[in-house]
Every structure is written in C-alpha cells, then in structure tokens.
Amino acid sequence: MEIMARLGYGARGIVYCLVGGLALLAAFGSGGQTGGSKSALQSLLSQPFGKVWLSAIALGLFGFAAWRIVEALTDADHRGTEWKALGVRAAHLVSGGIYASLALFAVNLALGSGGGGGEDQAAQSWTAWLLSQPFGQWLVGLIGAGIAATGIGFAWKGWKGDVMDHLALPSGTDGWVRPLGRLGYAARGVVFCLVGIFLILAALHSNSSEVRGLGGALQSVQAQPFGWLLLGIVAAGLFAFGVFGLVQARYRHLDAPDLNDARNAVADGMQALKPGR
C-alpha cells in the first residue's frame, strides 16, 4: 500500500507538471495549451514512448486512488472522527473516485481507444443530468459552493497553513520545498474557486453549458486583462504543485494500516456518523 501511495503521489505530480508546463508555454506564446488533466495526458501520445508513459502514469493514478480511498475509510492520517475531519476524509474519498476515472482515461489512451471527451464536456454532461433531477439546481449549487470552499481552503493553506504537514524532509530542504508547496496550493485554490463559481452560475441559470473544468478555468484566466501574466502565475503554481507532489512521493510520511486496524477505523467512522453523536 505504501508503494502504491508513493507511486500515486508521483503520478499526480507528473500530471500537474504537465498541466502547468503546457499552460506556461501557452501564456508566453510558445505553443502549449490551456487544457486540463485529460488534455495534458493526450499530449503525451505524440511523444517518444508516449504509450509507455501513459501506462506508467495510469498505474500510479490507480495507486493514488486506492490510497485516497483507504486513507479516507481507515483514517490512515489520524485525523480523527470530528465533523471537520470526517469532511476532509469524505473529500479524499471523492478524490479517489476522480483519480480512478483519470487513470481509466489514461489506460484507454494507451490502448488507442481515444479515452472519451474532455473535462469540460464530461462536467457539462453530469451537470445537465443533475439539473434535470428534483432539486437539481440546489444540488449543483451546493456542489459548486463546496468546490469553491475547497478552493478557499487551499488558498488559505498556501498563505497561512502548514504545507509541510506529513513530510519528513532532509535538513536544509525547507527553504525551497515550502515555497513550492505554498505557491502550488495557492494556484489550486484559484482554479478550484473558478470551477466552483462556474457551477454556481450554471445552477443559477439552469444552464449546464456554463460549467468549466480545469482547462476552462485556465482559459477564463487567460481571457482577463493581462491574462497572459495571470495565466503565467497560475500555471507556474500548478507546475510548482506538481514538483511538490514528487517531493511528497519520496518524503511523505505514510502509515498504511493493517487489516485489523482498517476494520476498527472504519467501524469508528461509521459510529461517528450515527445521529445523536
């Protein structure tokens, strides 16, 4: 499990490096693209050994998805069973599902099946379905508010939080790792806030075409006055978060639970969710 988790952090880091690097090139007119994670993975197909890279990244992303799910269910990071901790663990559970989906996309690309549509298209499709359900507008709005709140949390962590949490670094490395983490979390905060705002607008207008994913958020930054500069700053932050992910892959403290600990932790979490606690 620890090996899977470390491969996962590394694979996530590579994806963010690709997204940020391509967006940096686009910001300064040197090619590149303002796409999301799926577009970044598609760009590997034209590179030497592209399918091999995609297969390796897919394996790592499956590992990261598995670790996120185990981490959420067993409280491997010892967050506890208070409501705030349970909220973080629930977010990690959702994250596991998202990265499993991205891993499947990478596998399909490597196998030559195309991988399906882009992130914006996928987001608009599920939003359209959700809007058609009873109380759909409220649900989409709540999801958007939750994503925006997550973005604010990331931005706060980049500014004031402990980005070095769970890292066991060699002496003398804090001076460059900490700024990487701060810049990376701040950039993630910006794009998460934008994605959340797009969802809230879609809910208000009952129009799924207003939804944007990561790529759409970057394009909206680029469309602003001095957009090339703003995009360059956000893209540099995403690239920094990718490098920070590679550091996490090597130096993050991981406490993978054994089977009995996992069962007990899941039971404790279920008990904490019971009414009246």
Write the DSSP assignment of 237-258 as a string of letters: HHHHHHHHHHHHHHHB------
Output the six-digit token pair for 195. 């994605």
Question: What is the reported pTM?
Answer: 0.88
Q: What are the pLDDT digits (tens) for 138-175?
A: 999 999 999 999 999 999 999 988 899 889 888 888 88
Residue 137 to residues 124, 133, 213, Cα–Cα distance (Å):
13, 8, 18
pLDDT score recorded for residue 17: 96
Dihedral (CA of 100, 102, 105, 109) sign: negative
122 falls in which pLDDT band (50, 70, 90)?
confident
- Predicted confidence (pLDDT) at residue 177 exceeds the cutoff of 60: yes
**112 Cβ neighbours under 8 A, 6+ residues apart:** none
Report whether 154 contacts 146 (CB < 8 A).
no
Lowest mean pLDDT among 28-42, 51-65, 170-184: 28-42
- CA 71, CA 21: separation in Å to the nearest integer? 29
For 32, which DSSP code?
-
